[in-house]
Chains A and B, each alone.
Chain A
Amino acid sequence: MKKYLAVALGILTAIGGFVDIGDLVTNAQVGARFGLSLAWAVAAGVLGICVFAEMSGRVAAVSGRATFDLVRERLGPRLGLLNLVSSMLITFLTFVAEIGGVALSLQLVASVHLLLIVPLVGLLVWLLLWRAKFSAIENVLGLLGLALVVFAVGLWQLGPDWGALAHQAAVADKPADEDWRTFAYYAVALFGAAMTPYEVFFFSSGGVEERWTTEDIATMRANVFVGFPLGGLLSLAIAGSAWAVLGPLEITVDSLGQVGLPVAAALGKVGLAVAILGFVAATFGAACETGLSVGYSIAQYFGAQWGKYVRPSEATVFHAILLLATLAATAFLMTAVDPIMVTEVSVVFSAVALPLTYFPILVVANDPDYMGEHVNGRLANGLGSVYLVVIGVAAVAAIPLMIWTRMGQ
């Protein structure tokens, strides 16, 4: 019984933890303009994160090594350092976006100026990273993130033309007034938002934190293969409800309030309140995950003690990095930069950085020296190879598309 509870808890936190500020904003933007005609990009991204999260989780369970250990061992110190610098710049950007997302969500309630909320959020995030238990961060915020299910309820209440939505999703039927270039740009953005590299940094390091062994592989797989796709469905619900409410009005989403608008239209104040709770939990959870990912990865490259499973006094370098990263992210937001814009940039640059993270994982998941009998099977390798090509294409296309479409204008 206890085991089933643990599996259920894992799945629920995986659903609640799947959506972050990048998914919220990108899916609402895409939904309002393209409806569900880009649902295939979300599906491709979700399958991709499932494939590579499972590999990185399996490597962590079998060998006890997290992602940046592998990056350095397989790429060497020089390429590994380049990889570290670029991956951490992007993860840091995502961290900034998540903290900004928490502040924007709180602003929807408090209506005070964003710059008054940001330092408070930064302080709270750091306190949580410093004091809270790993399992508490993961479970509480993951479960609260489930409040975003309100988007699925809202979509159902709005009663859209389901046949038309399904048709749109099935044949990638782009609205006639949109350009193919912006269509491709948002496909890459959605793909990047679903496959953000920090997710595997956090997932594999979390596996080491929780001391997974080979016996935990089945539970880990259940979390990944059930939780992530259900989280992906939440993303689609956000896009679908945005299409139903914002699409006919030709509203383009450039604030978090507009992301929540369809829920308010469908379910009124209570619905909006639940949605805002979901925003806060999802972005706060992701802020902790990205912040930890920065600390994990840098410490793993240099071999310093990391992890929430030891006291902060035993992992001083790790906690110093967490403090500095939170300070820097807060300072960045205090320049009055628009968090929504930071989010948009971070998902596109995530797409650029995908091969840096996923290639070493694919190689090590095949290496019998690390994995013994748990090396990749044919399915994992088939999908992994296909995705290696796909993420290569997305990485190369992302920046040219961003410039060519002026960020999807």
Chain B
Amino acid sequence: MTSRRDEPRENRLERPIDGALHLLDRQLIDCEGALLGKVDDVELTQVGDDLAITAVLTGPAALLSRLGGRLGDELVAKWAQLKVSEPHRTRPWRIDMEDVERLDSALHLSVRRDGVLRRDREGHRLGRLTGMDVLGPDGERIGRVLDARFEPGAEGSLVLCSLIVGHGRPGSLLGYDRRSDQGPWLVRTVVRRLHRHTVIVAAETAEISWADSTVRLAERPSEAPSHPFG
């Protein structure tokens, strides 16, 4: 089997990306064009001062918990019960970012799919970060994390640069809250109206508490999120 499409495309990993909009749920394709799963979640690791993307996660253990809230937790527990003799069953399969080559409409690996999955560690997950409650400097609730923007860092890894915060209304994954030139007019107008309160905050001013599942901001944000490719 050969690579599906010959024309080279822009590699998104070399530019800022919005994790939920551009990376989550994309198809995983190996170096021979074979399909091996979806980006069911993304592993985040604290490296020095930065929160970096260190792996993509795939498989039921990652997907089920993204189905959300109590249902997600229950489904993960059920998934573990299906085979209690298997160690670390709730730990998702991971593919290290070293094995990732480029991102376009899919995520392409630089290796073959055979045996590429590992279950060797557990980190933070992007799917947990999105959906966290966002609190202002006085503890008042501002909204929820809708997405997280990453930019290429010092050692080639993608590091968190800002959070996109809104009211959690439907349609954030459609991308209209981040660019104003995407048609059709009807859908753009409705979705942008729903997301008129969506703002972007710099990662330095946000303190992420994974234990409480909240993000506390040092100042009240007001800047509207524009698209990194806009």
Interface positions of A (Cβ within 8 A of B): 63-65, 69, 72-81, 208, 211, 213-214, 301-306, 310, 314, 362-363, 366-370, 375-376, 381-382, 384-385, 388-389
- Is B26 among interface residues, defined by CB-CB distance under 8 A? yes
Interface positions of B (Cβ within 8 A of A): 1, 4-7, 20, 22, 24-28, 34-38, 40, 58, 63, 66-68, 104-106, 170, 173-175, 181-187, 229
Instruction: Specify the chain A residue showing the minimal Cβ separation from B230.
Output: A368
Task: Please determine whether A303 and B186 come into contact, CB atoms closer than 8 angstroms.
Answer: no
Which residues of B are found within 8 Å of A375, using beta-carbon distances?
183
**Once A and B bind, how many residue pairs between them come within 8 Å at the CB atom?**
97
Known: A64-B4, A213-B5. 8 other contacts (CB 8 A): A73-B25, A73-B173, A213-B7, A303-B28, A304-B37, A305-B36, A362-B187, A385-B187
Task: Please determine whether B66 and A363 come into contact, CB atoms closer than 8 angstroms.
Answer: no
Task: Please determine whether B105 and A303 come into contact, CB atoms closer than 8 angstroms.
Answer: no
Query: Which of B63, B170, B182, B185 interacts with A367 by CB under 8 Å?
Result: B182
Task: Please determine whether B229 and A368 come into contact, CB atoms closer than 8 angstroms.
Answer: yes
Instruction: Specify the chain B residue showing the minimal Cβ separation from A360.
Output: B174
Alpha-carbon gap, A63 to B4, bound state (A): 11
Task: Please determine whether B105 and A370 come into contact, CB atoms closer than 8 angstroms.
Answer: yes
Which residues of A are found within 8 Å of B229, using beta-carbon distances?
368-369
Task: Please determine whether B105 and A63 come into contact, CB atoms closer than 8 angstroms.
Answer: yes
Instruction: Specify the chain B residue showing the minimal Cβ separation from A370.
Output: B105
Overall SS of chain B's interface = loop
Instruction: Specify the chain A residue showing the minimal Cβ separation from B64.
Output: A77
User: Which of B7, B38, B185 has most A Cβ within 10 Å?
Assistant: B38
Query: Which of B28, B36, B173 interacts with A74 by CB under 8 Å?
Result: B173
Which residues of B are found within 8 Å of A72, using beta-carbon distances?
25, 38
Alpha-carbon gap, A75 to B186, bound state (A): 18
Task: Please determine whether A303 and B173 come into contact, CB atoms closer than 8 angstroms.
Answer: no
User: Closest CB-CB distance, B162 to chain A, in whole Å?
Assistant: 18
Alpha-carbon gap, A76 to B175, bound state (A): 12
Task: Please determine whether B175 and A310 come into contact, CB atoms closer than 8 angstroms.
Answer: no
Task: Please determine whether A388 and B25 come into contact, CB atoms closer than 8 angstroms.
Answer: no
Alpha-carbon gap, A78 to B58, bound state (A): 16
Which residues of B are found within 8 Å of A368, using beta-carbon distances?
181-182, 229
Given A74-B174, A77-B63, A78-B67, answer yes or no on A303-B184 (Cβ-Cβ < 8 Å). Answer: no
